[in-house]
Amino acid sequence: MSTASQATPRLAPGRAGVKKELPDRFKDYRHVWVFLELERGNVHPVSFELLGEGRKLADKLEVQLAGVVLGPPGEMVEDAVAEAFAYGADLVYIVDAPPLADYRNEPFAKALTDLVNTHKPEILLLGATTLGRDLAGSVATTLQTGLTADCTELDVDSDGSLAATRPTFGGSLLCTIYTLNYRPQMATVRPRVMPMPQRVDKPVGRVMRHKLSLVEDDIVTKVLGFLPDNQSAMANLAYADVVVAGGLGLGAAENLQLVKNLARAIGAEHGCSRPLVQKGWMPADRQIGQTGKTIRPKLYIAAGISGAIQHRVGVEGADLIVAINTDPNAPIFEFAHLGIVTDAIRFLPALTEAFTRRLSPHSRDKLAS
Amino acid sequence: MHIVICIKQVPDSAQIRVHPVTNTIMRQGVPTIINPYDLFALEEALKLRDVHGGEVTVLTMGPPMAEDSLRKALGYGADRAVLLTDRYFAGSDTLATSFALSQAIAKIGETFGRPDIVFTGKQTIDGDTAQVGPGIAKRLNLSQLTYVAKIASIDLKTREIEVARRAEGGTQLLKSRLPCLITMLEDTNEIRRGSLQQALCAARSQVVKWTAADAGIDDLTRCGLRGSPTVVKRVFAPTARAESATQIDTAEKGLQDIADELIADILTRRPALEHELAFNSGT
């Protein structure tokens, strides 16, 4: 038998080595669960990304992967169930009841907590969305178990515990967190952090249906309405194919226009690093990084961004990273693919012009001939 | 009305440095600030007090030096500050933190009047978990209203509250009841400048200091390291990629030439992009 110490070569001082035997009441907790976030008729893509991760964990542990679908009775839930199987679930737990039509903490937390107490999963994963974080925080509190937020890597240790890695200290280092003596081991993961797994059409497998032990009259909070975001005005950074972003190296708020100009010239979304949001130079929904959006574009151009871990974990999934920075020792050059040591304020207009020239129909005709 | 707002003193993240050789955090001399997200909650609490009357009590758990942040909050106009500080709290994860804070809020309720609303920020900038607010709500059985963008109305007679809450892809309009816990979204207001009088008051007023026992916490096994189900096993710097960025030589070249070279490099590595960029740019 291998020991836990083999998988943890460097123990942090203080909390290290706190390895006690799992209490008897948790010994029958088995299988990996993924909560499928169903809101307004659609399954959030982060749920599929989590099913992909959950599948890997379940295979390593040689247990089953279950999806959990909470929603109103009807087609919406049945569609989500079919998707859960298509993305790798072995079975699906359903709670369908009218109070679950719109997300509210009380009925969702009740439904999920009851399911966990009945079926006892060892691992429970949720998307780190506004819904998932609202739900996970209260479910973990009721269950009195550990919850690790915004994980960037999930793995199973040699002794079967979940090793959940996330940035720490404001994103300057990474840490691996365990929930050793409590079950389930809960974790949230932000959208786009994990790759989207392949969808494979599969017949609907085993489904376990449960009732909600609450009725509408028991629920204090009522939904009065929902105002969908104006799609054209909202940044769809997370799922954009090309992204240009600026950082403190731009020096002043007005220089962000240079980033926007380049983005417009190549049809990209624009964003920024965390300090710019804190300075009020850009709205929070444009922030890229651990606490903002995680992106996986085909091309990412970072201008005047130094590349702290908190930013790095948000962009590492990009196919091609181009960094422009005056400091040759900036950490961003450690994970970018192409680097230019120069002043972004001067270089961005030149790059915009060069792209415009290159991409104009006239020059493309010339290239083709 | 009585409002309790939980704040946290955090290191100013813009000034954290990692030691280049040992990869450890260099904490010496890093200034501390009130968690920036908490200021939106504090301002909202102060605004509600201005409209409805009553008191704002600001609460933090932390080392004795966290008193600085409480004094700042008093300077903005909070009426009372409570510092929950005890070595038993050291090493608390979010579950242990929400336990201690909820016990302290219950004690604040007994001592100074039951709170109608408990505020927290959306999350902290050092932990970034957003878990403590929901934890407090669950333990104190408060209606949980997270990511609140706007408080539309509060009726103290019927005890009803209406809020706009940020959800995925839109804004949810919710009606709920007091007492509730609100985590306030960022950029929803701007913290006021405290008056000179408030600054003088803040300097003079007493910060209430409570140990675990003072806050009525008997079960110390639920506090600090012992009360934390999560265990941090390893802290490390990310591994450098096998090769760092290919640098484009800029010596003795004009900016346009460098730009052309960069674009050529990009398209050599990802030829499919040429089509996509041109299509996207609408040319």
Domain ranges of chain B: 2-222, 240-283
From residue A108, alpha-carbon distances to A80, A121, A342, B49, B118 in Å are 16, 17, 51, 32, 22
Hey, what are B5's tokens? 């707002």
ipTM: 0.89
Q: Is B22 exposed, middle or buried (0-12, 13-18, 19+ CB in 10 A)?
A: exposed
Rounded CA-CA distance A294/A287 in Å is: 9
Q: A178–B240: do the CB atoms touch at under 8 Å? A: no
pLDDT at B283: 43
Q: Which CATH class is domain B2-222?
A: alpha beta
Q: How many CA atoms lie within 13 A of A45 on its CB side?
A: 11
| Parallel, antiparallel or unpaired: strands A162-168 and A153-156 | antiparallel
The answer to whether the CB of B54 falls within 8 A of the CB of B112 is: no
Rounded CA-CA distance B280/A283 in Å is: 24
Rounded CA-CA distance A261/B197 in Å is: 47
Q: Is A19 helix (H, G, I), strand (E, B) or coil?
A: coil
Is A161 labelled as part of a ligand binding site? Answer: no
pLDDT in tens, A101-154: 999 999 999 999 999 999 999 999 999 999 999 999 999 999 999 999 999 999
Chain A residues with CB inside 8 Å of B129's CB? 147, 149-150
Rounded CA-CA distance A62/A160 in Å is: 10
pLDDT in tens, B104-158: 999 999 999 999 999 999 999 888 899 999 999 999 999 999 999 999 999 999 9
pLDDT at A15: 41
Hey, what are B160's tokens? 């009803």
Backbone angles phi, psi at A160, to 5 degrees: 90, 0
Amino acid making up residue B264? A
Hey, what are B102's tokens? 């909820």
The answer to whether the CB of A175 falls within 8 A of the CB of B234 is: yes
Chain A residues with CB inside 8 Å of B165's CB? 130
- Cα nearest neighbour of B269 on chain A: A320
Distance from CA of A172 to the nearest CA of B (A): 7
- Cα nearest neighbour of B93 on chain A: A146
Q: Is A177 helix (H, G, I), strand (E, B) or coil?
A: strand
Backbone angles phi, psi at A65, to 5 degrees: -105, 125
How many residues appear in chain A? 369
Q: A323–B245: do the CB atoms touch at under 8 Å? A: yes
- Cα nearest neighbour of A150 on chain B: B129
- Cα nearest neighbour of B175 on chain A: A222
pTM: 0.86
Residue B177 contacts A, CB cutoff 8 Å: yes
The answer to whether the CB of A165 falls within 8 A of the CB of B229 is: no
- Reported as a pLDDT band with limits 50, 70 and 90, residue B6 is very high
Q: Choose between A349 and B283: higher pLDDT.
A: A349
Closest-CA residue to B271 (of A253, A319, A212, A144): A319
For testing contact with chain B, the best of A311, A340, A356, A363 (most B CBs within 10 A): A340
pLDDT at B252: 82
Hey, what are A34's tokens? 């993924």
Residue B218 contacts A, CB cutoff 8 Å: no
pLDDT in tens, B204-215: 888 999 999 999
Rounded CA-CA distance A193/B111 in Å is: 46
Residue B160 contacts A, CB cutoff 8 Å: no
Distance from CA of A340 to the nearest CA of B (A): 5
Chain B residues with CB inside 8 Å of A176's CB? 232-234, 236
Q: What is the mean pLDDT of chain B?
A: 91
* Residue A283 Cα to chain centre, angstroms: 20
pLDDT in tens, A235-284: 678 889 999 999 999 999 999 999 999 999 999 999 999 999 988 999 88
pLDDT mean over B72-98: 96
Nearest Cβ partner for A228 among B23, B170, B174 = B170
Rounded CA-CA distance B17/A169 in Å is: 10
- Reported as a pLDDT band with limits 50, 70 and 90, residue B19 is low
- Reported as a pLDDT band with limits 50, 70 and 90, residue B241 is low
- Listed by number, the residues of chain B in 26-55 with a beta carbon closer than 8 Å to a beta carbon of chain A are 36
- Cα nearest neighbour of A326 on chain B: B250
pLDDT in tens, A195-247: 999 999 999 999 999 999 999 999 999 999 999 887 645 567 888 999 999 99
**pLDDT at position B266 over 90:** yes
pLDDT mean over A328-333: 93
Q: How far apart are the first and last CA of chain A?
A: 66
| Sign of the Cα pseudo-torsion (B267, B272, B277, B282, in order) | positive
Q: A134–B146: do the CB atoms touch at under 8 Å? A: yes
Distance from CA of B58 to the nearest CA of A (A): 22
Q: Rounded to the nearest 5 degrees, what angle is found at the Cα of A265, between the Cα atoms of A262 and A270?
A: 50
pLDDT at B35: 93
Q: A340–B266: do the CB atoms touch at under 8 Å? A: no
The answer to whether the CB of A99 falls within 8 A of the CB of A67 is: no
Q: B134–A222: do the CB atoms touch at under 8 Å? A: no
pLDDT at A4: 37
Q: Choose between B62 and A309: higher pLDDT.
A: B62
**Could you give the domains of chain A?**
25-218 (3.40.50.620), 237-368 (3.40.50.1220)
Q: Is B213 exposed, middle or buried (0-12, 13-18, 19+ CB in 10 A)?
A: exposed
Q: How many CA atoms lie within 13 A of B235 on its CB side?
A: 17
Most confident region among A173-177, A278-282, B100-104 by mean pLDDT: B100-104
Q: How many CA atoms lie within 13 A of A322 on its CB side?
A: 27
pLDDT in tens, A63-94: 999 999 999 999 999 999 999 999 999 999 99
Contact residues for A343 (Cβ-Cβ < 8 A; gap 6+): A249, A326
| Sign of the Cα pseudo-torsion (B96, B227, A156, A143, in order) | negative
Amino acid making up residue A227? L
**Cα diameter, chain B:** 75
Chain A residues with CB inside 8 Å of B175's CB? 221-222, 224
**pLDDT at position A29 over 50:** yes
Hey, what are B91's tokens? 């090493």
Q: Choose between A171 and A327: higher pLDDT.
A: A327
pLDDT in tens, B210-238: 999 999 999 999 999 999 999 998 888 77
What are the beta bridge partners of residue A300? A243, A321
Q: Based on C-alpha coordinates, what's the Rg of chain B?
A: 24
Nearest Cβ partner for B246 among A170, A171, A338 = A338
- Reported as a pLDDT band with limits 50, 70 and 90, residue A8 is very low
